[in-house]
């Protein structure tokens, strides 16, 4: 189950990893299938027309999560890690105007967004609640190619076959520390004398150079930090119709004023953590560039926690960023492997809860925690998110998501602090907590799993 740090932390655009980045990647992948895939190609004619249907949670909250834009961008050949907002707007406007998609290296395909992108609220595909079907047709209307993809959380995409393989995956791993759960991770740390972050580093450099790993981690941090700066600089209303105002910039200004005038603030830690996290998630909600950590909806927790460390810990060093991110990704990989990081699968406990556990582990590690203390920190943070539902109002990643990131960061710092007061022994293991999260998510009514059919989404009147 080895999952690279760069699979969990992916640079992309908002507002959702499962509903924006995943569908965008799926669109690009379908284009690749058309050109290079193994399917019977008629000699006389080729693909002239494409259509797509969205199912389950992608249909229910796809409009609020910009899945429609994401599909168009993916089919236009754009990448979530590099497309700019103006390029995206121009590409989407062109498709709506011309009713054609013209990706590089392909002929122009007929695609009318109004009729060729279908939100199917009736049919849930069998593999996962976030299902998509892509169709390619010949000029006479014959269907030439059909592909089903699932967006399985955190921007990951799986075909039907890949999903089946993942579900019974027990493949041996070609890495020096192949831990699949927290118990194995602690045993290996004990035997090797290495920290969790160091074991994760060894696993990563089994497949890349140490320099490439360091450069990649700093790129991830640069984008996280930029998303905070951009969030502080921006103002006005977020898109989508809820008229939610950006608040992070004003809160930041107030905190800076208090700082400059030496005004005591007994809530300083909470306020800064909330401001950092909200800045990232306001950027995410506006379609800006963020890092999945482990998802877009939960993208603010880890940058907020790490920023708080860098700004307020007297001995903080930038060299700790790598250890933080590697440790956090080790915990995220275990959670994804044994439960889920997807709100559509297990509710918000899988998104904000996982992010908080990852952040708590990363912080405990750079505070000098032992592997047992790090595991304890992750467990405390996750335990106190158990049962949290996903019920975004209007299907937008705004309420409760933006503030919830700040709460996740505050819990992460508290969890790390609490764990560091002990010696790592504790009652509930991280593995037991992850198992509980997975089971709770499976038992959770589908209304509370990113469909906006229950919870706040139905009890708050949209203005």
CB 404 within 8 A of CB 309: no
Judged by beta carbon, residue 33 or residue 119, the one nearer ligand SF4 is 119
Kindly tell me the burial class for residue 287, based on how many C-beta atoms sit within 10 Å of its own C-beta (0-12, 13-18, 19 or more): buried
- Figure out which of the listed residues 298, 304, 331, 415 binds ligand SF4, where binding follows CB under 6 A: 298
Task: Tell the smallest beta-carbon distance from residue 133 to ligand SF4 (Å).
Answer: 23
Q: Does 383 bind ligand SF4 (CB under 6 A)?
A: no
Q: Does 390 bind ligand SF4 (CB under 6 A)?
A: yes
With a CB cutoff of 8 Å and minimum separation 6, the contacts of 264 are none
For residue 406, the surrounding DSSP H or E stretch is helix 401-421
Q: Residue 242 gets which letter from DSSP?
A: S
CB 95 within 8 A of CB 76: yes
At residue 443, φ and ψ (nearest 5 deg) are -80, -15
Judged by beta carbon, residue 365 or residue 407, the one nearer ligand SF4 is 407
Cα–Cα dist 109/49, whole Å:
5
With a CB cutoff of 8 Å and minimum separation 6, the contacts of 72 are 27, 91, 92, 95, 101, 113, 117
The per-residue DSSP string of 73-127 comes to: HHHTT--TTT--HHHHHHHHHHHHHHSEE--TTS--EE--HHHHEEEESSPPPSS
Q: Does 351 bind ligand SF4 (CB under 6 A)?
A: yes
Judged by beta carbon, residue 92 or residue 397, the one nearer ligand SF4 is 397
Cα–Cα dist 237/242, whole Å:
9
Task: Tell the smallest beta-carbon distance from residue 36 to ligand SF4 (Å).
Answer: 34
Q: Does 441 bind ligand SF4 (CB under 6 A)?
A: no
Task: Tell the smallest beta-carbon distance from residue 61 to ligand SF4 (Å).
Answer: 8
Q: Does 450 bind ligand SF4 (CB under 6 A)?
A: yes
Q: Does 297 bind ligand SF4 (CB under 6 A)?
A: yes
Judged by beta carbon, residue 291 or residue 348, the one nearer ligand SF4 is 348
- Figure out which of the listed residues 392, 394, 438, 441 binds ligand SF4, where binding follows CB under 6 A: 392
3-state secondary structure of 143: strand
Of 396-435, binders to ligand SF4 (CB under 6 A) are 397, 400-401, 404
Show the binding pattern over residues 165-204: x = contacts ligand SF4 (CB under 6 A), - = does not.
----------------------------------------
Judged by beta carbon, residue 95 or residue 293, the one nearer ligand SF4 is 293
- Figure out which of the listed residues 24, 251, 335, 352 binds ligand SF4, where binding follows CB under 6 A: 352
Task: Tell the smallest beta-carbon distance from residue 291 to ligand SF4 (Å).
Answer: 15
Judged by beta carbon, residue 309 or residue 448, the one nearer ligand SF4 is 448
Number of residues that bind ligand SF4 (CB under 6 A): 13
Q: Does 343 bind ligand SF4 (CB under 6 A)?
A: yes
Judged by beta carbon, residue 307 or residue 398, the one nearer ligand SF4 is 398
Cα 367 to chain centroid distance, Å, stands at 25
Q: Does 22 bind ligand SF4 (CB under 6 A)?
A: no
Neighbours of 241 (CB within 10 A): 12
The per-residue DSSP string of 165-181 comes to: HHHT------SS----S
Residues near ligand SF4 (CB under 6 A): 297-298, 343, 348, 351-352, 390, 392, 397, 400-401, 404, 450
């Amino acid at each position: 189950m080895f999952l690279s740090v760069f699979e969990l932390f992916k640079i992309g655009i908002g507002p959702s990893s499962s509903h924006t980045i995943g569908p965008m990647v799926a669109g690009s992948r379908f284009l690749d299938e058309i050109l290079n895939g193994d399917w019977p190609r008629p000699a006389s004619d080729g693909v002239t027309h494409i259509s797509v249907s969205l199912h389950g949670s992608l249909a229910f909250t796809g409009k609020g999560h910009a899945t429609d834009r994401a599909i168009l961008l993916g089919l236009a050949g754009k990448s979530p890690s590099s497309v700019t907002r103006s390029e995206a707007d121009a590409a989407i406007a062109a498709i709506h105007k011309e009713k054609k998609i013209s990706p590089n290296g392909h002929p122009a395909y007929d695609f009318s967004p109004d009729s060729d992108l279908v939100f199917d609220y009736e049919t849930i595909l069998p593999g996962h609640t976030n299902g998509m079907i892509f169709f390619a047709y010949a000029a006479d209307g014959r269907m030439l190619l059909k592909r089903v993809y699932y967006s399985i959380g955190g921007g990951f995409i799986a075909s039907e076959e890949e999903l089946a393989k993942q579900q019974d995956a027990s493949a041996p791993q070609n890495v020096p520390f192949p831990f699949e759960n927290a118990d194995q991770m602690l045993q290996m740390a004990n035997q090797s004398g290495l920290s969790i972050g160091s074991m994760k580093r060894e696993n990563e450099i089994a497949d890349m150079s140490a320099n490439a790993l360091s450069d990649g981690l700093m790129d991830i941090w640069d984008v996280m930090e930029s998303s905070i700066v951009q969030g502080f600089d921006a103002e006005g209303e977020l898109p989508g119709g809820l008229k939610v105002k950006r608040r992070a910039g004003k809160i930041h200004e107030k905190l800076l004023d208090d700082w400059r005038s030496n005004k005591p603030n007994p809530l300083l830690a909470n306020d800064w953590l909330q401001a950092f996290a909200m800045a990232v998630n306001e950027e995410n909600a506006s379609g800006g560039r963020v890092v999945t950590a482990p998802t877009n909806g939960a993208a603010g927790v880890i940058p907020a926690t790490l920023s708080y460390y860098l700004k307020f810990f007297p001995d903080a060093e930038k060299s700790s960023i790598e250890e933080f991110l590697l440790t956090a990704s080790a915990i995220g990989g275990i959670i994804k492997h044994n439960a889920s990081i997807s709100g559509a699968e297990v509710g918000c406990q899988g998104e904000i809860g996982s992010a908080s556990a990852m952040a708590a582990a990363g912080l405990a590690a750079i505070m000098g925690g032992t592997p047992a203390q790090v595991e304890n920190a992750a467990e405390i943070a996750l335990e106190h998110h158990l049962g949290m539902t996903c019920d975004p109002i209007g299907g937008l990643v705004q309420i409760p998501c933006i503030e919830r990131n700040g709460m996740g960061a505050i819990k992460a710092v508290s969890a790390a602090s609490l764990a560091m007061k002990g010696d790592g022994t504790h009652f509930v293991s991280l593995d037991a907590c992850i198992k509980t999260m997975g089971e709770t998510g499976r038992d959770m009514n589908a209304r509370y799993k990113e469909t906006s059919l229950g919870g706040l989404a139905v009890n708050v009147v949209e203005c």
